[in-house]
């Protein structure tokens, strides 16, 4: 069941998504479904998208929502934790820990998006997605793989996949790559 199916069958709090984002979510997030992942969404609003991410990623996912509105704290539930703070507050963001996926649907202000990205990207293990870049997509310095879509920018960390037994002793660069990328 793809993201659109989950969106169309959502029962719960209000959520608001652009239809052309659905394929982007599936392209970049599908491989993490059913996995033990930690997801951060900046911008809680009514909390519906947090519930949707919870169902989309599955029972092993831990969803964290960040919002500056203290009323959002009441939206926590099983698998969903809410942190109250500003997405441009670097010290607050540093205290959140590491995430597999970060979804920035917060202020939609480019300066806030860049502050969040620069702070969270080093501890993001896989995908960083920024929504609603209507005016202009921020340029994500330091991200090796970046995709630009209408109103969305996605940064990914490379995943080096190696299978099979070596047919000879590994070279120094192969040993270094295995240590760096965990393969």
pTM: 0.89
Write down the mean pLDDT value for the chain: 93
The angle, 0 to 180 degrees and rounded to 10, between the axes of the packed helices 48-57 and 22-29 is: 40
Between 18 and 40, the more confident residue is: 40
Structure tokens at 25: 């979510």
Structure tokens at 76: 């926590």
**Is residue 160 scored above 80 in pLDDT?**
no
What is the CATH code for 3-181? 3.40.50.150
Given the residues 6, 28, 46, 108, select the one marked as catalytic.
Answer: 108
Domain boundaries, the chain: 3-181
In tens, the pLDDT along 81-104 reads 999 999 999 999 999 999 999 999
pLDDT at residue number 60: 98
From CA 158, how far away is CA 183, in angstroms rounded? 12
In tens, the pLDDT along 24-33 reads 999 999 999 9
Torsion of CA 54, 59, 62, 65, to 10 degrees: 20
From CA 179, how far away is CA 97, in angstroms rounded? 22
From CA 41, how far away is CA 29, in angstroms rounded? 13
- Asked about 10 being catalytic, the answer comes back as no
From CA 69, how far away is CA 83, in angstroms rounded? 10
pLDDT at residue number 162: 74
pLDDT at residue number 127: 98
């Amino acid at each position: 069941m793809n993201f659109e199916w989950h969106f169309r069958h959502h029962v719960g709090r209000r959520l608001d998504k652009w239809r052309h984002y659905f394929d982007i979510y599936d392209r970049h997030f599908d491989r993490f479904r059913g996995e033990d992942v930690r997801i951060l969404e900046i911008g809680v609003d009514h909390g519906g998208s947090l519930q949707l991410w919870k169902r989309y990623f599955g029972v092993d996912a831990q969803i964290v929502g960040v919002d500056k509105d203290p009323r959002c704290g009441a939206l926590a539930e099983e698998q969903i934790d809410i942190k109250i703070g500003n997405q441009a507050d670097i010290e607050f963001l540093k205290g959140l820990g590491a995430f597999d996926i970060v979804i920035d649907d917060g202020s939609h202000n480019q300066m806030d998006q860049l502050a969040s990205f620069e702070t969270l990207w080093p501890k993001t293990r896989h995908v960083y997605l920024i929504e609603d870049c209507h005016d202009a997509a921020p340029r994500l310095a330091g991200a090796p793989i970046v995709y630009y879509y209408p109103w969305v920018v996605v940064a990914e960390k490379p995943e080096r996949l190696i299978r099979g037994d070596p047919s000879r002793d590994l070279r120094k660069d192969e040993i270094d790559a295995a240590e760096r990328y965990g393969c």
